[in-house]
């Protein structure tokens, strides 16, 4: 799934992948966390509740 506008801190608003056309790729879901590959190529483990917008 393609994801954008990701929060780093709950309630602070989207801070990652905000640019037009930029998307992060959902690699895996593990319990309360999700592994994402960002447009920069970095891989991050992020809490699922911080994922804002998801496109399938």
Q: Report the CATH number at residue 51.
A: 2.30.30.30
Tokens 């954008």 belong to 4
Which domain range does residue 42 map to? 2-55
- The predicted pLDDT at position 48 comes to 87
**How does pLDDT run across 9-47, given as a tens digit for each residue?**
888 888 888 888 899 999 999 999 999 999 999 999 999
55 pLDDT tier (thresholds 50, 70, 90): low
Number of separate domains in the chain? 1
What is the pTM for the complete model shown? 0.76
């Amino acid at each position: 799934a393609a994801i954008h506008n990701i929060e780093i801190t709950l309630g602070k608003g989207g801070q990652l992948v905000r640019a037009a056309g930029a998307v992060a790729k959902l690699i895996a879901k593990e319990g309360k966390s999700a592994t994402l590959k960002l447009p920069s190529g970095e891989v991050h483990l992020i809490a699922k509740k911080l994922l804002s917008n998801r496109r399938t």
